[in-house]
Amino acid sequence: MRRFAILCFMTGCMAVLPPSLRAADAVGWRECVREARQRHPDLASARALLSQAEAERRIAGSALLPSLSLSGSLASGASTGSGAGWSASTGSYFLSARQLIYDGRKSSKLKRASEATLGARERSLAGVSADVRFLLRSAYTGLLKAQELVSLTGEIRDRRRSNARLIALRYRAGREHLGSLRRAEADLAEAEYEVAQARRGLELARSLLSSALGRRERSPLRVAGSFEAEEPAAPPAPDFPALARRNPLVLELEANRKAASYGLAAAESAFSPELYLASSAGKGGIGDWPPENTEWSAGIDLAVPIYEGGAGRARVSKARAVLGEEDALLESGMLGVLDLLEERWKSFMDARGRLAVRKKYLEAAVERSRIAAAQYSNGLISFDDWVIIEDNLVSAKKEFLNAGADLWIAEAAWIQAKGGGLDEIEG
């Protein structure tokens, strides 16, 4: 009864523990995507930059809106000398309004530039999302591969142990020599080492996935999935130029170029006169506070730039150089994205083909091993021939696992090249 109560207490404690403290979190791809979207620091940083760009857009737009200000003053003074002294106090308060009428459209062009910069930040966020998705998918694939590798190495170790026992029996019966026994023992030792290595790799893969999720704590994660799922038919070759034009990097560079063009137009408009409608109303005068005299004014303020020591022309030259730089960056970025798309597509198709070939090799190795085991038991093949077939089976299983993981990584890299972010969720 006491043991039952302790068991119930421990079960209850496990039920209320946060996910990061439980023995193992079994998570799927969709759950990982949702968590990374909320917690990854790179996405948080990109969103903060987007918020800054939105604030800059509002700041730039405020120059086109009327401005209101309230001002007041209170002062007192006295005079002493050979004549009669005097003292007085003055006070005033005014509400002033100012509205831009004309400045050569400089303010409107600066607003357009800030809007283009905001668009660039949005595209940058999409690019960061694509990078985070690739990182997450790679870590997810790495953990799934590590889990299956632990299982596979355990299976190989058990098979090597069984083979070592068989060779030991045959050696004691005088049907095998000492060299065969030592080779079987060496194969078993290697298999046990690979089991330990795979377990260490599993711990590392868990840590990498935790980081990709944005978790600071390291929890014993487990992921769901299998590399053995049937692959659909190969998709047709895509339109690389069209994909490149929709890539977040290219769109970001285009937005930066647009912002630079508006910046150049604004710099050129700096030579235009500035015309404001201004008005004020309030009270002022000498005497008691509050003042009694009502004052108001309305008029037009005009400012015409005449000479700034060449600063205006220098700003235009700088803006024109920035635009030239953005033109070159856009062209370079477009070429780079085109090359990347074609490279990633080739790697993706190669990985699909390699997985199909590895699957056939594995099927053949399994069948050969089954036949060779029976032949060796009946003395129809030598130990050396049987060992070669067994090694081929082990290699075929490892190669098939590697090919499945490589296909997932190649697919993730292809999606990243297209600009697919965390909004593109697959099962």
Asked if 422 contacts 132 with a C-beta cutoff of 8 angstroms, the reply is yes
To which residue do tokens 């903060």 refer? 48
255 Cβ contact list (under 8 Å, min separation 6): 116, 117, 119, 120, 123
pLDDT, average across residues 78-94: 63
Please tell me whether residue 92 adopts helix, strand or coil conformation. Answer: strand
Query: Which among 14, 11, 427 has a CA at the least distance from the CA of 223?
Result: 427
The residue type of 405 is A
Neighbours of 276 (CB within 10 A): 17
> Percent of the chain having pLDDT more than 70?
87
Give the pLDDT confidence score for residue 51 in this predicted structure.
Answer: 94
Q: What distance in Å separates the CA atoms of residue 50 and residue 45, rounded to the nearest whole number?
A: 9
pLDDT, average across residues 117-132: 94
24-65+107-229+244-270+336-418 topology per CATH: Outer membrane efflux proteins (OEP) (1.20.1600)
Neighbours of 286 (CB within 10 A): 13
Q: What is the pTM of this model?
A: 0.83
Give the pLDDT confidence score for residue 80 in this predicted structure.
Answer: 60
- Higher-confidence position of 208 and 291: 208
Give the pLDDT confidence score for residue 294 in this predicted structure.
Answer: 78
* Radius of gyration, CA atoms only, the chain: 38
Give the pLDDT confidence score for residue 83 in this predicted structure.
Answer: 53
